[in-house]
Amino acid sequence: LEEEKYEVAEVKRSESMLSEEEWKELRAKARKAGIAFAGGSLVAVGVVLAPLPTPAGEALIVGGVGVLATEFPAAQRVIDGAKEKAAQFIDSLPDEDDDKEKDGGEEEKKTENSTEKASAKGEECKGMEIKARTREDDIIDAHYQAMKDAASGVKDAASSVKKKAIKLSKSVRPHLEPDAEMPSMNIDMDEAGKKMKHSFRNMQNKMGEMSQSFRWREKVEQIGQLVGKDSVKSMPIPPRF
């Protein structure tokens, strides 16, 4: 009886076993599903991180598409097309020296305009009686200057981010050639997270300073219009940012 049971179990097991071709097909499907999951997960996380001021998001997207390309030819075509478009865009970016010359030209133009305005103002003021400055004048000027300083800080921060982005783009340009290998993507996520938090904190501070300056300026002007300049005298002068 035991031998009969054993023989029946062997027959059932042999009937349930897959052929070699079926096993190959099953393994291929499992491999394709695993690659699709891994590559899709990398791309999904990269899309979430892409808006942040670190290259981690873009690197994860490229890595995810690269993983997908090992099994799906369409993904490789996406990579080739994206590399070509990226190379064209990077080639259109200005060089660092061009940016410096442009910034220098703008500063020179601003200086010339300021000099011309000062000269014109001097001509207008000839023969006019110069009144002594009052505390409310100092308060309004201080708030206005604080607003300008905050706006200038935000502009400088944006300019710095732009220059760093251009420099990073130029550094990866050689890897976008058709026969070039993809660069290594060893990313220190802790360091990237610290840089991201630092960038956000700086931008928040600048925007907060700018917003505060606008509020102070608006408050000073409203009070001055409603109750006259005498009431402005009691307002404190804000610190310089």
Can you give the pLDDT at residue 94? Answer: 73
* 8 falls within a domain: yes
For the residues of 79-119, what is the DSSP string, one character each?
HHHHHHHHHHHHHHSPPHHHHHHHHHHHHHHHHHHHHHHHH
Residue 175 per-residue DSSP state: G
Are residues 148 and 227 part of one domain?
yes
* 123 falls within a domain: no
Are residues 241 and 169 part of one domain?
yes
Task: Name the domain count of the chain.
Answer: 2
* 122 falls within a domain: no
Examine the fold and report which residue of 35, 67, 92 is the final residue of a domain before the chain moves on: 92
Are residues 146 and 77 part of one domain?
no
Are residues 215 and 166 part of one domain?
yes
End-to-end, the C-alpha distance of the chain in Å comes to 95
Examine the fold and report which residue of 36, 65, 92 is the final residue of a domain before the chain moves on: 92
Cα(241)–Cα(138) distance, rounded to whole angstroms? Answer: 16
Can you give the pLDDT at residue 240? Answer: 46
- Contact call for residues 198 and 190 (beta carbons, < 8 A): no
Are residues 147 and 79 part of one domain?
no
Range of the domain at 205: 131-241
Examine the fold and report which residue of 67, 92, 117 is the final residue of a domain before the chain moves on: 92
Are residues 142 and 77 part of one domain?
no
Residue by residue, pLDDT tens for the chain (241 residues) are 455 555 555 555 554 566 677 777 877 788 778 877 877 787 777 777 666 655 666 677 777 777 777 777 776 676 677 667 766 766 777 776 555 555 555 656 665 565 565 555 555 555 555 566 677 777 777 777 777 777 777 777 777 767 766 676 666 666 656 665 554 445 555 665 666 666 667 766 766 666 565 555 565 565 555 555 554 455 454 444 3
What 3-state class would DSSP assign to 240?
A: coil
Can you give the pLDDT at residue 185? Answer: 47
Can you give the pLDDT at residue 43? Answer: 76
Are residues 222 and 168 part of one domain?
yes
* 7 falls within a domain: yes
Task: Provide the strand spans (E) within the chain.
Answer: none
* 126 falls within a domain: no
* 117 falls within a domain: no
* 236 falls within a domain: yes
Are residues 137 and 87 part of one domain?
no
Q: Which residues of 138-160 are buried (b: 16+ CB within 10 A; e: fewer)?
A: ebbebbeebbebbeebbeebeee
